[in-house]
Structure 1
Amino acid sequence: MQASAPAFDLARIRADFPLLARSVHGKPLVYFDNANTSQKPHQVIEAVDRHYREHNANVARAVHQLGEEATSAYEGARDALARFINAPSRNEVVLTSGTTQSINLVAYSYALPRLKPGDAILTTVMEHHANIVPWQLVAARSGATVKAAPINERGELIVEKFIELLTPEVKLACMAHVSNVLGTVNPVREIAKECRKRGIPLLVDGSQAVPHRPVDVQALGCDFYAVTGHKMLAPTGTGLLWAKKEHLDAMPPFFGGGEMIREVKFSGTTFAEAPHKFEAGTPNIAGFAGVAAAIDYYQSIGFDAILAHERELLDYASARLREIPGLRIFGEAVDKEPVISFLLDGAQATDLATLLDLEGVAVRSGHHCAHPLMQFYGVPATLRASLAFYNTHEEVDAFVAALLKVRKLLM
């Protein structure tokens, strides 16, 4: 049970993030690229630094003091992550380099051995490439196909269409909890319920959800949940795959190497139990020390406060952007996280982003690893402003002022 957090003090919070204090091209930085990667508080930075200064050793390989300390930190991160997403057991949490590795693990270890010609994998039009390409690769090897459920113009999943597509040949369903382009929050619990009725496992890409809202995998009812650490204040090269125990027990290892075995002989190898059978080689130990610190940081603030601030910030930013003539926002879902994708009439997304950078504003331009979604809207790219709990109304005003300035240059 999460302890009550102190009052939301935005100035105090911002002081915890060293990079937010810097300037870019002589202008105060406005960092609105949080869906790409979040900034890191000094508590996370110091946790990584402290590991290398005081505890650096490999995990699970040594009985000396440093080895025990490193192992304790690494396994402590597993415990923290299990609590963070309310996993039933720490042994259902596989530590990975991020969502991409987590999804590929499921694709090759769970899906590929079960797929045959005529089978299908169901996903959605709004997915990140990491939740499309692995399924295409295993489908090509097995003779299966990949189907995509449609969305409406507001960027919302058409739930009844997704359910209609849950036909008997579908062996796995996959969806983003939150769209990285639109901010749309998908009705995972409802979809999971429909999948269970049909005996179809559901994988959820949680990369864009965990930085903004509490996640309870037991309440969601999915079978697999993937998380990326660097989007939730933690270092790059960290993440997790949560999967139900029965799936992990039945899945063969994906990578082979040290520390995922019980015994190796040339006559055959016996593997460790899950989750360790999926964690071959030396992991990002210092990175996971940072993960534990990031989780502590979220809990020190509390998601109630984070949700309230981000929703207010999203409403304010959306209203300010709608005042700009010729600006089109993509994704107007009723339930969405603080992500705004948009275009200005007559301006290329990359040109806008480049000019905004000269004004100190960091936003993302491009297809956002979501080509099918760009094709749905009939555009090659968008500009994306993605906000976090450490952003301010004043930054939104600076962003809009910069956008109006560069608009004049391009019109």
Structure 2
Amino acid sequence: MHHREVLDDLGHVATLLGLAVVTTIICLFASGDAWRAEIVPLLVFAMTVAIAYDEDLALLLAAEVALVVVVGLGRGLVDYITLTAASAAMVFWMGRLRSRSKLIYVGLWAGVVALATQLGAELLDGRSMSTQLLYDAGRTGIWTLLAGFLMTGLLPFIERSFGVLTDLSLLEVGDVAHPLLQELVRRAPGTYNHSINVASIGEAAAEAIGARGLLVRVGAYFHDIGKMLKPVYFVENQGQQGSRHESLVPAMSTLIIVAHVKEGAELARQYNLPTPIVDLIAEHHGTTLVEYFYRRATERQQANPDGGDVDEHTYRYPGPKPSTRESAVLMLSDAVESASRALTEPTPARIQGLVHDLAMKRLLDGQFDECGLTLEELEIIEQSLVKSLTAVYHGRVKYPDQQRTA
């Protein structure tokens, strides 16, 4: 979350101010001579802000809270340097959380930093090396390690309270054993295979522009779960049965196709999927046109002029349009993966032309107007998708037919 967004929202400002005040109070209570544990709530505060908002903001606020605590306790520069160094080490090494054990390792290394910093600062301040000094520094290091353990248990509550989604939670949600994915495999295996392919090429494209590739990957797993309710109406699940749409009018076919977005979002909410995943499901088609059935309806209208005009709006998805870069990447990845299957000879040149045409069509249709995607990023996404699809459809050596042995 950008700093300007935080400052423009009074709710965020009030939350951060409240956290800072509560942290300061807890630090003061935990700073007794018997414990000297004021570093623990400060580190938990720094990590919470880093996870919920921004690492830079976490460093700034942690330094300010540390200053208030040190002044309030009547401590000196040594304590301030130790607190800020430990906070900085925690925030810098935390990065993206993909395992719960990482917080423990972060606490361990930050503890080493805190221990070394306190030793060095005390010696520079004129204090001589002694057993008491080693004990004080070691205690600070142990408290820092314990802060990592404490954060491991608090992480789910922080994510739920602030509405954030760490990589660790994404990995848990994206487990192939998830009931929704298992149901998708059983009811719509073609859709599941399509989703896996979209996840692969979408993650690479998102990483190429600095977006959250893991979020795109997990979102792609679930983006078409709504199709499992009427799987045979989608081409990837029809096999040799033929299309059910041949007996339907284009408007009815469009209603069935479009409904998978709303039904997928409802399924995601029923299974308590995180809000960012639900948003990806709801936005992955934006307000794009269901072109095939729109063209069929137009052809019918031209053949029978008395049948009335064709309303283009009726053949569009209801939206909303992509609101994040990850959502835009998923939209384009979904489109190019589906369209590439129809290429008779998927040469690199044809794949490149297909990807560019689909990207430009959505750009000119205004699908990327609300997600902050730049033209430079769109070009990078195109290049990544072309590279991924070319690898999938790479040419293979044609071996001569083997003669059958008698």
* Structure (1/2) with the larger helix percentage: 2
Determine if the TM-score, normalized by the shorter chain, exceeds 0.5: no
Which is bigger in relative contact order (C-alpha 8 A, separation at least 6)? 1
